[in-house]
Structure 1
Amino acid sequence: MRGAGRGGATLEVWPSLRIHMQANRAFMHRVARYLAAEKGIRQFLDIGSGIPTSPNFHEVAQQVAPESRVVYVDNDPIVLVHAQALMAGGSEGKTAYIQADMREPETILSARELLDTLDMDRPIGLTLIAMVHFVEDDDEAYRVVERIVDALPSGSWFAASIATDDFAPEMLARVQEVYHAHGETLRFRDRAQAVRFLDGLELEEPGVVRIHKWHPEPGDVGSVDDADIAMYGGIAFKP
């Protein structure tokens, strides 16, 4: 899913990849901080955790609220090797890891690690950061997200970042070719398709925007070139 060979080849055709991914990770950090500090969320389900890189999601959330609980999900076997690092949360909170594919939501929702860590009757912060582009079929992608969101209790929040080629279609068509050449999926979606993932929920301002424009840190405003970003992001509330 995050192969070194594919990454190097992608950098050759799209030199902005590194900036783009850094902006995506910064978006994830802001989401974790925002939900913990501004919305009082104390339990999180992070699907598509990736290889641990400090600060991880739980570190950001537990910095705000040490009692925060985080369940990570990923299907990459390399992540499993590093799962112990993911689960090294603060003494007051708790972390857990599930090896599962997001395209099989029932496996995630029935996992003992999830049920032992999170209270499914209390609000949860669900994050799908740079994940839905790995599901090429639109109907399947929307179905999977809807199933997981439906399982969340009222008062929960859903955050996502969604790959788009709205701003550089020719360049990103070459990126897509690299992914396909390495046997991987990559599905870009326009803004209307990105917004659809949050249908039925109450979008938080400023809505679905490019990730570097979602609640940027004051010092970061203007520091990222729009042309380097190919990802929409937003969060929404489940009433």
Structure 2
Amino acid sequence: MTGQDTPLDSDRTTAAPTAQAVRIDTGTPHPARMYDWYLGGKDNYPVDEEMGRQMLALDPRVPVMAKVNRAFMHRATRWLVGRGVRQFLDVGTGIPTEPNLHQVAQQVAPDARVVYCDNDPVVLAHAAALLRSTPEGATEYLQADVRDPATVLDGARKILDLTRPVALCLVALLHFVSDEDGAHDLVRRLLAELPSGSYLMMTHATADFTPEESAAATEKLKAAGVTLALRSREEFARFFDGLKLVEPGVEVVHRWHPELGEPVPGQDDGVIPGYGAVARKP
């Protein structure tokens, strides 16, 4: 892909989307803002911190889980770039936290092209931070929902060449999409439009190791209007049906290709309640 023409090659970084007339609900906790709080960010509100502290009381490892998810994304992105992947579609981007995916990818491959996608107006308000591409590469931000894969793919086509391999990144996203909303089918529909040689990068929270605490967390979030669909290892593995898993396959997040010199504050030898995996489309 390096050195060959791709869509929007003459317009490598498009203008940041506008946040004009966006209404942000500061009275209801939001997963993206809670995640920001767990990571030590400042783009959250008291209602997000309050719910975050309730989650922390149920399981003190929640902030560590947020950090290991970010570390997994960094490792997996570097792994994919090392295998020649130069296009990334990151759905469920979340509030920008540096280094972002495009910064990790473009540090190794300046010509990497990244499309971010999220339905959260808070992310839209910070989208300019996601569009600081290298001159050789490109980034774009789409305001769209994973539950509308056609819109996601239509927007991605404006900057990615979907006839060439793409890494579909769904990091800490699908546990907010229920089976009733067709989580597995949504992933299949997104992958169906990507060519052979594409990859699925994914992490997902689970109740496998902390069933009682997880059940209590699910109920608290449900009462606050937030869906939490914690899935077992087997249910998570189903997202990769028809794909070739990269070794070591489905693994707890911090044990997927651990790298020396990349400790996560607060992480010990215990099991972090989440799975991660990367797989290739044949």
1:47 equivalent in alignment to 2:91: yes
Q: Structure 1: which 5+ residue stretches go unaligned?
A: none
Alignment of 1:5-16 (within 5 A): 5-16=50-61
More off after superposition, 4-13 vs 81-90: 4-13
Count of matched residue positions in the alignment of Structure 1 and Structure 2: 236
Q: Letter of the aligned partner of 2:51 in structure 1?
A: R
Report the CA distance shift for 1:86/1:139 in structure 2 as closer, same or farther (over 3 A). closer
Report the CA distance shift for 1:92/1:207 in structure 2 as closer, same or farther (over 3 A). same
Question: Taking structure 1 as the reference length, what is the TM-score of the superposition?
Answer: 0.94
Q: Which has the larger radius of gyration?
A: 2
Q: Check whether the contact 2:252–2:271 (CA below 8 A) recurs between aligned residues.
A: no
Question: Taking structure 2 as the reference length, what is the TM-score of the superposition?
Answer: 0.80
Residue in 2 that maps onto 1:106: 150
Separation in 2, partners of 1:127, 1:206: 18
CA RMSD of aligned residues (A): 1.6
Separation in 1, partners of 2:111, 2:81: 11
Report the CA distance shift for 1:220/1:86 in structure 2 as closer, same or farther (over 3 A). closer
Separation in 2, partners of 1:230, 1:123: 31
Separation in 1, partners of 2:193, 2:211: 35
> Among residues 54, 71, 81, which one is paired with 1:26 in the alignment?
71
Separation in 2, partners of 1:53, 1:70: 15
Q: Structure 2: which 5+ residue stretches go unaligned?
A: 1-29, 34-47
Identity %: 49
Residue in 2 that maps onto 1:234: 277
Residue in 2 that maps onto 1:94: 138
Separation in 1, partners of 2:263, 2:101: 22
Alignment of 1:63-142 (within 5 A): 63-111=107-155, 114-137=156-179, 140-142=182-184
Q: How many angstroms does 1:178 deviate by?
A: 2.1
Q: Check whether the contact 1:72–1:96 (CA below 8 A) recurs between aligned residues.
A: yes
3-state secondary structure, aligned to 1:197: helix
> Among residues 160, 166, 173, which one is paired with 2:215 in the alignment?
173
